Amino acid sequence: MKKLNAPLVIAIGSVSGGGKTTIVTRLIKQLQYSKALFFDSYDFEGPHDVLKWVDNGADSNEWNLTPLKRDIEEMLPQPLDYIFLDYPFAYQHSQISKFIDVTVFIDTPLDIALARRMIRDFKGSSADEILLQMQHYATQGRRGYLEMLQNIKPDSDLVIDGTLPVNEIANRIAEQVKDI
């Protein structure tokens, strides 16, 4: 339930390449009095080997999210209706979960997410670099994607089909949060 006179904090999660940033950016344009915080804009202290972290249970509390917590706390008194978080942990991080009112998971098939990530991150890369990334995904990195599907998706309040057009995903989220 929305806190009196406080913005609704909505966490948007997905696997890498799943559409989080695109959807959050669309939502802050679509909904007046909205701001966003993007997880990838921070340089958090956390596990150095993400795959080892995943293999050891992916405890999100191993990440020090103090900078994000501080920024949320600074935004809460602002005259906003919504704060959107492009954020991978749903309710699972103790520093941040107390601020979140709603979590949304964009359920994007892994092949589509991987293709988007390759297009986004490896534009202009050599064929050898792209093949190395594909090999890394196939032999190791996919575990991180599966971790999100097994643990973050079920911890989310709303799951939306990531194959839908961007405007439809944003509209569905906007409709849901306006009713809260």
pLDDT digits (tens, 9 = 90+) for 32-44: 999 999 999 999 9
Q: Which fold has domain 8-178?
A: Rossmann fold (3.40.50)
How much is the pTM? Answer: 0.91
pLDDT mean over 152-173: 95
Determine the pLDDT at residue 1. Answer: 44
Residue 2 has pLDDT above 70, yes or no: no
Q: Is the four-CA dihedral 133, 138, 139, 140 of positive or negative sign?
A: positive
pLDDT mean over 77-90: 95
Copy the structure tokens of residue 89.
């942990």
What average pLDDT is seen over the chain?
A: 92
pLDDT mean over 127-142: 89
Q: What is d(CA 84, CA 72) in angstroms, rounded to the nearest whole number?
A: 10
